[in-house]
Structures are given as C-alpha cells and as structure tokens.
Structure 1
Amino acid sequence: MHAYLKVDHVDKAFTRGTATTQVLRDVTLTIERGEFVSIIGHSGCGKSTLLNLIAGLTPVSAGAILLENKEVNAPGPDRAVVFQNHSLLPWLSVYDNVRLAVDKVFGAGKTRAERRDWVMHNLDLVQMVHAKDKRPSEISGGMKQRVGLARALSMEPKILLLDEPFGALDALTRAHLQDQVMEIHARLGATTIMITHDVDEAALLSDRIVMMTNGPSATIGDILGVPLPRPRRRLELAANPTYLRTREAVLKFLYERHRFVEAA
C-alpha cells in the first residue's frame, strides 16, 4: 500500500557560481491522507525549502516526491500554499482574490453561479464573508491570512501547505487563527503540512512533529507523534501531561541543537 505523500531520499543543493550549498540531505518522510504534520527546526535547517519541494516550486537534486504515487515535479492546484506573506493582489477585492483561484481551477467544470457560491462558501469557512468587497489594504493582517487560507482551500487541494502562516501576527490573532485552522481541519480532513518555529503551535495542531537537524545538509532528526484526542482546546491542554511531554521533547531537541551550534 502506497503512502499518500512520500518524500523519498530527497537531497537539495543550490549552486551559485562555483559554490554549491547542500541544504537538505537524504530526507525521507511519509504522510497519510488527513494527517496534520508540522515541521520545526532552527533557522537555516531547510524547512521552507522542503515545503517548496513538496509544492513543486523548486526541483529536487536527488530522490523523489510522490503524491498518490505520482511524481511531484511542478506546481499544481493539488498543492496549495499559504505563505507568511499573504500574497493577495492589492487591486482586487477579498472576493476577487479568491475568485481568481476558483476560476483558474474550476473554470471549465463549474458554472459562474457555482463558482460564486464556492467562493462564498470558502469565505464563510474563514469567517470573511462580511469583508468580501474590501481590498487587502482595508483589512488587518489576520484577516488577510484568513483570505489566503480561503483561497488555498477553494482550490480543493490534496495537500495544504502552510509556511509559517501566523508568524507575523500578534499572539491573540495567532491563537484565534490556530483555533480556526483546527476547526477547518476537523471539518474538511485536509492533509496539512505546516512549517513553524512555535513549539506550542506544533504541539497544539499536529498529529506528528517532524524535527529537522541544523543546516547545512539538514535532515530529519526525529519524528514525534502527538497522541492527543481531537477536538483540542488550548485551555484544557495547558496542564495535560501528554501535551506537556510533547512540548518538553521538542524543546529538548531544539535546545540540544542550539547548544551544538554555539559550540561549533
């Protein structure tokens, strides 16, 4: 039986002039349909590079990435990315930013009325229907990220890729969006991979946490399962022994890597 997504002995190197930098080395990972997996590690460990490889935004140097046993070698609507920078088009309304993606993916398969309904459905998922006629400059950072998430979900991707989507937000907005992502994941069962620096975020949201060694030539140092039942409520988890053990294990892994960097 094939894994839903398989990263198979992947290397990634970048060459600039005569210099070559090995960013990732022999990365192997399998992800099952419906899983929520976080990737965490120190800056420069290749987290975002790995996400870009899965998105097809950059080619692997060696190995292969397979989605439903088909090789990933180019971008596609089956892998939607939400970046830390919302990447909304500033001259389009909230509605039109999402509609652009819907028209691209479903222009031949849905009528105009069906596409409109689908845009509104996805805006409703992220509670942004009230702002559908506003432009990005007229809404907050958290609202922009909601629109970016709606746009990604509207494509009905097989994999939702989140590249530190809450990193630039204040703590309260981040908490609200984390809760919303958990609700959406529970409702849709979307296979999700998230890059994060936030240990608490990883422990709260994930089924598994992939911990990367330091770069260059980073690889997977350990994978930690998070056996917390869903739905999860952050206040109830504050004193949960499993949550605290998970958080402690990730912190210990990262702290040991930090000591290694300082000693080098």
Structure 2
Amino acid sequence: MGAKAYLSFEQVGMSFRRGTHASEVLRDVDLRIGEGEYVSIIGHSGCGKSTLLNIVGGLLKSTTGEVFLEGQVVDAPGPDRAIVFQNHSLLPWLTVYGNVRIAVDKVFGGTKSSKERHDWVMHKLELVQMAQHKDKRPHEVSGGMKQRVGIARALAMQPKVLLMDEPFGALDALTRAHLQDSVMDIHAKLGNTVMMITHDVDEAVLLSDRIVMMTNGPSATIGEVLAVDLPRPRRRLELATDPEYTGCRAAVMAFLYSRHKLPSRAA
C-alpha cells in the first residue's frame, strides 16, 4: 500500500554518546509510508521504537540519514506532526475544551476567527465522543477519556501525520478496545496518515495496513514488514476466526518470539 513516499526514512541511524562510550540504538532504517496509511511499529523493549517516533516528531535528530515528509527534511518539531503519548499530558488547570483550544489557538490563531476555532475544537471533541464533557477538568474524567482528549488535541492541529506512542498501553482492556474502535472510525472518516508504536500484537493487526517489525537492540533495524490484507471497516469479533487475521497474528508472534528472542539471562 502507499506507493508514493509521503513519509520516508532514508538510512536512519541513532547513537547516543555518554562520555567516551557510544551506544547505537538504530541502524539503517529504511521505510516508506503512503498518505492515508496506518502503520504500526512493533518490537521488544529496547529496540528503538520510541526513538524512531521521536525522530519523526522532530524531538530527536538522527545521527545518520534523514526523515522526509512530502519531500521536506524533518529536523524540528512542527504542527504537521502531532504526537499522542501513553501519558495524556493534559494541562490540569484547563478544561477538556481548554486543552484542545490551546493547541488550536497556537496553530490557527492567525488563520481562523475565534468562532471558527471554537467550532473546530467542538468538531474534534465530537469525533472522540468528548463534547459532552467539554467543561470538565482532567481529574474529573477517566483515563480513557483523558486519552480521547489527547487524541482530539492532536487531530485539532490538522497534522499531516498522527504519531502515537503506545497510546492505549496504560488503559484497562475494555477501555483500550473501545478506544481502538474509535481510532479506527476516526481514521476511516479522516483518511489521515498514522504511525503507531505498540507492543500489542492483536492491536497492531486490528488497526494497521502494515506492521513494521523491529529486530532487537542494540543496533536495531527493520526485520520484516507485514501487509495486513483485511478489508475495512474491521469488526474485532468477526476477525477472531478470520484466517487472514490469525495468519497475520501468527506471523508477528513468530517474528517476535522465535526469530528474535530476547537474550536469555544467566541464572
């Protein structure tokens, strides 16, 4: 999927230096992501998944290689790439509405009127089913609701790429399932480009067009890329016995737990 390179990684490598010691986290990462594609990055802890996302987000500068978005080098943070972290990062003194409005004012303060910005905020809150809670503060809503607000805030920036770093990892199973369904619905409505970091195999297969499997660190790189050929919309209960779903799940599990086992520890 996505023959056109909308977002591309060209020989990306990342090393961190502490004194005279250098630690190579990523090596020679090459990847093309098409516009409107949903791509998940999966791998064991320490394989550089979040480092890769932070490079795309402009929070880190790669040691070698470049990331390009629509042909332009990514070298700093920008509203064209919005990040949703596992921790919702909401401002506790602002309401649900205020947490989204602050991002909208920052990005669209010079191009949209106050009324247009208000309508824009409400539209995004409606997308994540949080409009009715707009006047509540973060401590007054659940963890899943906080994450919905974080997603609304990211979408309100109208990013070219939505970056999500294990966005459902801190949620209970039922809340996670509801939020996954919401993200699938939003992706279907907006056709936005999504790059998601996850450690959950079922989540990756359910949500993704392709799954990028990382080798173990140090010096992690892309081991395999799996296309998930499941029609949309996807219904999780129907997929449980779908041979394509179970085949994709088995392929990812085999990669993670057979071909790239975690190093054994001495007893």
Asked if these proteins are the same fold (TM beyond 0.5), I'd say yes
1-side partners of 2:227 and 2:184: how far apart?
17
Following superposition, the deviation at residue 259 of structure 1 comes to: 3.2
Aligned pair count?
A: 264
Partner of 1:183: 185
The structure 2 residue matched to 1:239, chosen from 216, 238, 241, is: 241
- Does structure 2 conserve the Cα–Cα contact (< 8 Å) formed by 1:203 and 1:209? yes
Name structure 2 gaps, 5 residues minimum.
Answer: none
Give TM-score, length-normalised by structure 1: 0.98
The structure 2 residue matched to 1:196, chosen from 195, 198, 201, is: 198
Q: What do the CA deviations read for 1:214-261 (whole angstroms, capped 9, x no partner)?
A: 001000000000000000000000000000000000000000255352
Partner of 1:63: 65
- Does structure 1 conserve the Cα–Cα contact (< 8 Å) formed by 2:4 and 2:35? no
Partner of 1:112: 114
- Does structure 2 conserve the Cα–Cα contact (< 8 Å) formed by 1:24 and 1:216? yes
- Does structure 1 conserve the Cα–Cα contact (< 8 Å) formed by 2:210 and 2:225? yes
2-side partners of 1:68 and 1:235: how far apart?
37
Following superposition, the deviation at residue 117 of structure 1 comes to: 0.5
Partner of 2:255: 253
User: Residue 117 of structure 1: SS of its match in structure 2?
Assistant: helix
- Does structure 2 conserve the Cα–Cα contact (< 8 Å) formed by 1:44 and 1:215? yes
Q: What do the CA deviations read for 1:108-139 (whole angstroms, capped 9, x no partner)?
A: 00000000000000000000011101111111
1-side partners of 2:259 and 2:15: how far apart?
22
Partner of 2:149: 147
User: Residue 43 of structure 1: SS of its match in structure 2?
Assistant: coil
User: Residue 149 of structure 1: SS of its match in structure 2?
Assistant: helix
1-side partners of 2:262 and 2:155: how far apart?
40
Q: Is 1:86 paired with 2:127?
A: no
- Does structure 2 conserve the Cα–Cα contact (< 8 Å) formed by 1:2 and 1:69? no
User: Residue 226 of structure 2: SS of its match in structure 1?
Assistant: strand
The AA in structure 2 aligned to 1:52 is N
The AA in structure 1 aligned to 2:48 is G
2-side partners of 1:19 and 1:57: how far apart?
22
Query: Deviating runs (4+, > 2 A) in structure 1?
Result: 257-260
User: Residue 263 of structure 2: SS of its match in structure 1?
Assistant: helix
Following superposition, the deviation at residue 262 of structure 1 comes to: 1.9
1-side partners of 2:157 and 2:238: how far apart?
34
Q: Map 1:1-264; keep pairs closer than 5 Å.
A: 3-257=5-259, 259=261, 261-262=263-264
- Does structure 2 conserve the Cα–Cα contact (< 8 Å) formed by 1:80 and 1:153? yes
Percent sequence identity over aligned pairs: 69
Give TM-score, length-normalised by structure 2: 0.97
Following superposition, the deviation at residue 212 of structure 1 comes to: 0.1
- Does structure 1 conserve the Cα–Cα contact (< 8 Å) formed by 2:10 and 2:29? yes
Following superposition, the deviation at residue 203 of structure 1 comes to: 0.4
1-side partners of 2:57 and 2:181: how far apart?
25
The AA in structure 2 aligned to 1:131 is H
RMSD: 1.2
1-side partners of 2:262 and 2:74: how far apart?
34
- Does structure 2 conserve the Cα–Cα contact (< 8 Å) formed by 1:8 and 1:28? yes
